[in-house]
Amino acid sequence: MSRAAVICGLGGALPATAVTNEELAAQLDTSDRWIRTRTGIGLRYVVAPGESTSDLAVAAGKRALESARRKGGDEAGDVDLVVLATSTPDRPCPGTAPGVAHRLGLGTVPAFDVAAVCTGFVYALATAASMITAGVARRALVIGADTFSTILDPVDRTTRAIFGDGAGAVVLRAGESGEPGALLGFDLGSDGGGADLITVRAGGSRQRSTGEPPAEGDQYFAMEGRPVFTEAVINMSESSQRLLDRVSWTAADLDKVVAHQANVRILHAVGEQLGLEEKQIVVNLDRVGNTVAASIPLALSDAAAAGDLVPGHRVVLTGFGGGLTWGSAALVWPDIEPVTQP
């Protein structure tokens, strides 16, 4: 057996403020039926004034560390690396991860951000796993956290219906490839030709260097729904299949696919492309919305807490997001107890 990164802790965090479809309908030209029919979402959570991505990241990180300690003892929480996936950092500079590590009391461990939008957690997971297998780190805290409510156009009924805020985290430790929880393989990709499909046009060096104020609306998140739907289904399906081939699994071997929680129709279409039944696709977006980099670890937490994801399950994680980016990871689910909302 070879050295591998093994998932040994899992946690999630949501803001306190829940927003129902009915509440959105009172503000915008929409309805509960319109939102549920097109997205499958019934509820999402948003940060309070003054609450930031790092606040959610710290809460999820604490819970993942607690989860690791429950099975592995106090030493299981002694991580020496923090990787934070986010596209809504607290500030443009510096990165958010060092502050998260500091607030978690982790000392001077290396900590950095990864920006791959909704694929961010898979990219961060692959990065941390590679550093563990290379011997650079022994244990890592990998967090996906986003507060997209802070960058949405308040009058855009589509994006406000879809996105919610949240954070999810896992702890990785050095182990062997044959044990449960070992990350068995990854498939990652990108296509910068589709950068304008999922974007915030203003606020970066390109817009700032013009010396002109941003055009109206450019400070908000924008997405081209129809092509994004198509690209998401194609790339998550193909990435998952390449990964299955790489780890010598077939779709029939899979117990669960935990995909980025973008839209229930996308999730079902990915399942159809892979020849899976609906029960094999983990869905929690109806209760939390699209939480961007947090969506996969939050879905893992919910599924494990509900008993839908049990030790021994063969699992593929897959995501698609801005960039365009996509990525997948495979593992056999370990015996861990997630720590979620109190």
In the annotation, is 235 catalytic?
no
The DSSP result for 54-112, as a single string, is: HHHHHHHHHHHHHHHHHHH-GGGG--S-EEEE-SS-SSSSS-SHHHHHHHTT-TT--EE
- Closest alpha carbon to 13 in 88, 65, 78: 65
In the annotation, is 102 catalytic?
no
Q: For residues 167 and 254, what is the distance between their CA atoms, to the nearest angstrom?
A: 26
Distances in whole angstroms, Cα of residue 18 to Cα of each of 119, 221, 237, 312, 340: 24, 21, 32, 34, 16
Among 21, 235, 263, 290, the active-site one is 290
Q: For residues 198 and 190, what is the distance between their CA atoms, to the nearest angstrom?
A: 13
In the annotation, is 284 catalytic?
no
Among 118, 235, 263, 313, the active-site one is 118
Which secondary structure element, helix H or strand E, spans residue 329, and what is its range?
Answer: strand 325-332
Q: Where are the alpha helices (DSSP H) in the chain?
A: 21-25, 32-39, 53-72, 97-103, 120-133, 157-162, 205-208, 225-246, 264-274, 285-288, 295-306
3-state secondary structure of 340: coil
Hey, how many other C-beta atoms are within 10 angstroms of the C-beta on 313? 18
Residue 339 per-residue DSSP state: B
CB hemisphere CA count around 54 (13 angstroms): 19
Residue 262 per-residue DSSP state: S
Among 260, 263, 284, 313, the active-site one is 260
Task: Provide the angle, in degrees to the nearest 10, between the axes of the packed helices 32-39 and 264-274.
Answer: 20
Q: Which residues are catalytic?
A: 118, 260, 290
